[in-house]
Amino acid sequence: MKRELLIFCLMGIIGTGSVVNAHSGRPEQANQSRHAERLTNRIDHPLTTLSSAEIRTTHEIIAAHFTHPANHLPNKKLRIPILVLKEPAKSLLLNWRPGQSFPREVSVEVLHYPSNRLWAATVDLKTAAVKLLALKSAGTQPAVTAEEFVVADELVHAYEPWKQAMRQRGLDPSTVYLDVWSPGDVQLPPRVEATLPFGKQTRLLQALSFWRNGDVATMNDDMPHNPYARAIEGVVVTLDMNTLKVVHMTNSIVRPVSNDSGNAPIRRTDLKPLITKQPSGASFRVDGQQVRWQKWNFFVYLHPRDGLVISDLRYGDGNEARRIAHRLSLSELYVPYGVGDQNWSWRSAFDVGEYNLATYAQTLEANADVPENTYFFNAVFANDTGPVRGNPNGTVDYPATIGLYERDGGVLWTRTDPTTYARDTRYARELVATWNAWIGNYIYAFDWIFKMDGSMEVKVHLNGATLNRGAVSGLDEVGAPVVAIAPNGAHVAAPNHQHFLSFRLDFDVDGVKNRAVEENIAHVDHTHFDNMFDVTKTVLATEGFRDFNIMSNRSWLIESATSTNAIGESTAYAIEGTGYTPPLSKANYAPLQRALFANHQLWVTRYREGELYASGEYPNQGPVNDGLPKYISPAETLDTTSGDDIVVWYSTGFTHSPRPEDYPVMPSESIGFKIAPSGFFPSNPALDAPKQ
């Protein structure tokens, strides 16, 4: 795609059908699936996502407010990093019933580049007015905007020292792809920092270079020349986005650049079709954004920052739809790289807070991302420039970004009568709500899996390409294993790195009054028996964190303080991990100080409005100790008897030491956790499952 078209798409000049879904903001034309059903303008639920018309109205209200002379606000060079429905207060949502009225408000961030200032606004759509406008503290940086990717690309491609650095490596600058990053904790030379208009608070970006190995206009989509396979080592460009200029560039080392195509020379031809069909249709029902399947009932939507959100999760038990959770979502995703090099040490992405992860949601493809029996939801988000010629609503369409499908789940349960040998077996069915985001070299797919036994799983699939670097033959660099030798003899290394994800789980197990309970299992000493072990339960009495302990098979329960089961115990759901990896950096590593959630597997906080993100609202060039550490400072006492409205934050992670099989494209790697009933039901809730 030509860069001119790229710029028009990202700035919203081309509206319908353009999807911004890359770390660098590259759009792709998305063909709407025949299964996809566009969300209509019917707004009959407090969480119904904003329509195109509402987004346009919000843009107009903000523009009018900032241009009104009496308000004394800047009215030019304004950008909108995020514009999203302001979810009503939890108290309203818990008591709301269909047919009742509800507020319709929008949260908007307004960024003024020249002054480096950010305003957070609340727009009331019913009164068509700005209800609240708060100027954030100096230096507060929202997520990187789509337009900034385009502007950074233009600035670097026009920068003569960078072009010379590319020619120094034998490369045509026009064939070089730029991957634009938030600056992380970059350390610029003092002489450079002294020239920045706002010092350390200046809004910065960093650009990495990769060789496309050809003209993008002549590339075959079926055999793509993915640039991440061909890293250009030693060159990092720093940009000042307040004044829109390059302020620094490293050109530290020159290493051969791989010419690997990234594709298999011959593809297999012996794989026969595997067809998924449901001739009688799906077993689930969708009404707008409400989903009902096998006693499960929830509201689903795509949030531009959080991604897929599951709200008002319930399970049918007799005539009652029992509450399990109020809101489940991804909170943050932290990825630090572990090679000792000044060009690498700053690389520690916060993909949710620094980039608004779901604005890079991909259009899901049947028989590629998901099976052909998938039902798709579309989304529409605001662009960051507002209405322009050719895009009067100031929106970007995201077709088929949430997939919902049923799949086989293996054996649900089985038993055999020991007298008659009669078998009694049920085959499981699962419902999967999925989405994925292309954020630079990595693609993350998120599956929320609902099961017939009342349990659910959250799985994250790590895909894409490793973030590679040029290597030297015979030089074994600590933290950067060599994974390939290209046809031209260039060595490719893939630095070690880690992925840490925080999920915010606002449980309401049989109501809002809940307790967090820790379970540990250990050997019990006995004079006459050598193999006794038992579970010890401890109710957590304060806000804080707890750590994984494989030796005690540690897990956690969220139990109701107001409801008991048939045997007199509190009804509960358990959080069961599948493993954990600790951060391998020093404790004082600057990026880790902004991602302290990664140090502990479980955090518990009292519910408070607005506490949504494990690393805080603004991790981009943000302060340390924000988010969860701030939420529990000081730690409040929790009522271990009557319970409280609590939120648990679950951290999971993966340490990746790349291998040759991870190049040039990684096989999918999965991590996650399970949420399972523990005394919530009187017996196996899937006992009534039909034979299939």
- Residues tagged active-site: 351, 442
- In sequence order, the β-bridge partners of residue 171 are none
Q: How far from the centroid of its chain's Cα atoms is residue 241's Cα?
A: 25
Residue in this structure with the two tokens 């759901």, named with its chain if needed: 573
Residue in this structure with the two tokens 């009522």, named with its chain if needed: 639
Give the 3-state secondary structure of residue 275.
Answer: coil
Q: For residue 78, give every residue at least 6 positions away whose Cβ sits within 8 Å of its Cβ, in sequence order, or none.
A: 66, 110, 111, 112
- The helix (H) or strand (E) run that includes residue 596 is none
Give φ, ψ of 289 to 5 degrees.
-115, 10
**Dihedral angle over CA of 393, 399, 404, 410, nearest 10:** -150
Residue in this structure with the two tokens 């049989």, named with its chain if needed: 510
- Please return the burial class of 609, using the count of CB atoms within 10 Å of its CB with bins 0-12, 13-18 and 19+: exposed
Q: Where are the beta strands (DSSP E) in 117-266?
A: 117-124, 129-135, 176-181, 204-211, 231-240, 245-251
**Distance separating alpha carbons of residues 92 and 96, to the nearest angstrom:** 6
Both tokens assigned to 634: 């000081």
| Contact status, residue 276 vs residue 373, Cβ threshold 8 Å | yes
Give φ, ψ of 54 to 5 degrees.
-65, -35
Residue in this structure with the two tokens 């991790």, named with its chain if needed: 619
| Contact status, residue 395 vs residue 57, Cβ threshold 8 Å | no
Query: What b/e string do you get for 385-419 counting C-beta neighbours within 10 Å, with b at 16 or more?
Result: bbbeeebebbbbbbbbbbbbbbeebeebeeeeeee
Helices 160-168 and 146-157: angle between axes, nearest 10 degrees: 70
Residue 595's identity, in one-letter code, is A
Give the 3-state secondary structure of residue 344.
Answer: coil
Both tokens assigned to 687: 């006992």
- The helix (H) or strand (E) run that includes residue 84 is strand 83-86
**Distance separating alpha carbons of residues 592 and 598, to the nearest angstrom:** 8
**Distance separating alpha carbons of residues 509 and 507, to the nearest angstrom:** 6
Helix, strand, coil percentages, rounded to 5, for the chain: 15, 40, 45
Give the 3-state secondary structure of residue 114.
Answer: coil
Residue 432's identity, in one-letter code, is V
The end-to-end CA distance of the chain, in Å, is: 48
Residue 242 per-residue DSSP state = T
